[in-house]
Chains A and B, each alone.
Chain A
């Protein structure tokens, strides 16, 4: 396709516009109109009126949270089988695809008959994770998801940013489909007995 050239013709400024004063005045009128309208609405809200018309676009974050879109990538969780054990088959796909190298899986044989392999430990270092979602895309058995809607992943040390299998499995789905995190990272402080035993 040949390149198309679009010529934009700009309207030359009129004399009034070039005098600048009028245009400045117009600008001031616009901003001060917004100011007075918002001031009026704020005052109305103070006395409990006119709540339907917001005076600001700000979301007062810690108290009010923005509803997240369904496909928003948030903290990971590991999916569970009916009996509550992990669905993950330790295929190492997510560990391989992870661009931040933040997943670490140690596999072991599974003897309860579901599958042949399971992860003995499954660690995601959220301090390194870039929330790209590749691990979710690549998982062959839908064992890992990023739909917990948990965004406030913060910690006081790097170690407590490391989430283990128990933390990632420790959730419950409410009837309305939302996921609550039960671990709340309390178990993080406990030593990993399985890991410790392996050493």
Chain B
């Protein structure tokens, strides 16, 4: 086989695994959301769905949810734009899943007969991985805005407008908050950023973004939370008041929006762990120069644990804080986060320049 074909097979397998892992994890998040919120509020959470009396701590509800959504009536309001109304949820979920093409979830593995000798554990080797991620993430707003716009419903429209304003505003803070990381590590390649976070600072702290850019991390986490439109920032949705952009959706189309939200919060968890918590790096362990399959698995595991922690943290945040008012939301973005992010960027740039000028790393 030609090297090209071998690479294609491996990448295809990776893509298959990643898509399924993301979808499965997204589904699992619906279970986690129910159970975690229940535990946090002294409740028990959904536990009634069962197969032959086996309840599997509520996991069966994932299945029953799917069946419910697939068998519900798929309704389109009169006057709604047929094409846009149909593709809006697909855009939402599609872009959300597409982001994972550029996410490195492990170290590289040795592959015989490929054009390159190493296969990085990610679907697509993009040098500008970070840019690609944010570009695709930014496209996600289309799904939401089109959904609200095409529904022929004023509440949907209000939701879409809020979503548009919120996501575009927070994208700015989001973009600037990670510039510090990009300056320090000098690359936009997510695999490169992860690799650069090996080793230690001052001999005992892992060389992670969080220790180099604590302020950047806080702003990034807030902004990515706003991007995923979950509770403290769920103004586009506001289920209790306007229901928002998904008001005219039912059945699996609505399910896709819900799912896109879950996948987006997963993206948040993944980006937090890659940019600020060393991705697949295991703290205080130097990755071997010629990694084996075992090491690749180990690094993937480390990555998984970090992502799991962040999903837990995000769920906790989602079930702890009340929602912002819309003016507070905009104030937070433009008057607080953006200036801090800019100041953080300038200070980081000066320090990096000084260190480079004095022959540092």
Residues of A participating in the B interface, judged by any CB pair closer than 8 Å: 21, 24, 27-28, 30-32, 34-35, 38-39, 42, 55-58, 60
Contact = CB atoms under 8 A, between A and B. Distances in A.
Given A21-B218, A58-B44, A60-B44, A27 B39 contact: no
Contact of A28 (B39, B44, B317): B317
Contact of B43 (A27, A31, A58): A58
Interface in B280-332: 313, 316-317, 319-321
B316 A28 contact: yes
B42 interface: yes
A147 to B, nearest CB: 31
A101 B38 CA distance: 43
B40 interface: yes
25 contacts: A21-B218, A24-B321, A27-B321, A28-B320, A30-B320, A31-B40, A31-B316, A31-B320, A32-B40, A32-B316, A34-B40, A34-B41, A34-B42, A35-B36, A35-B39, A35-B316, A38-B40, A38-B42, A39-B39, A42-B39, A55-B42, A56-B43, A56-B44, A58-B43, A60-B44
Nearest to A24: B321
Given A28-B316, A31-B40, A35-B316, 12 more contacts: A28-B317, A31-B316, A31-B320, A34-B42, A35-B40, A38-B39, A39-B39, A55-B42, A56-B38, A56-B44, A57-B42, A58-B42
Q: Which residue, of B42, B218, B313, has the highest number of chain A Cβ atoms within 10 A? A: B42
A56 B41 CA distance: 8
Interface of B: 36, 38-44, 218, 313, 316-317, 319-321
B29 to A, nearest CB: 16
A34 B321 CA distance: 15
A55 to B, nearest CB: 8
Contacts of A28: 313, 316-317, 320
Q: Which residue, of B38, B313, B320, has the highest number of chain A Cβ atoms within 10 A? A: B320
Nearest to A62: B48
Given A24-B321, A28-B320, A31-B320, A57 B39 contact: no
Contacts of B38: 56
Given A38-B39, A39-B39, A42-B39, A31 B319 contact: yes
A70 B36 CA distance: 36
Given A21-B218, A34-B39, A39-B39, A27 B44 contact: no
A184 B182 CA distance: 74
Instruction: Please provide the 10 A-B residue pairs with the shortest distance between their CB atoms, ordered closest to farther.
Output: A38-B39, A31-B320, A57-B42, A58-B44, A35-B40, A56-B44, A35-B39, A31-B40, A27-B320, A56-B42
Contacts of B320: 27-28, 30-31
Contacts of A57: 42-43
Contacts of A35: 36, 39-40, 316
B215 to A, nearest CB: 10
Contacts of B43: 56-58
A42 to B, nearest CB: 7
Contacts of A56: 38, 42-44
Contacts of B317: 28
A24 B322 CA distance: 11
A30 B40 CA distance: 9
Contacts of A42: 39
Contacts of B41: 34
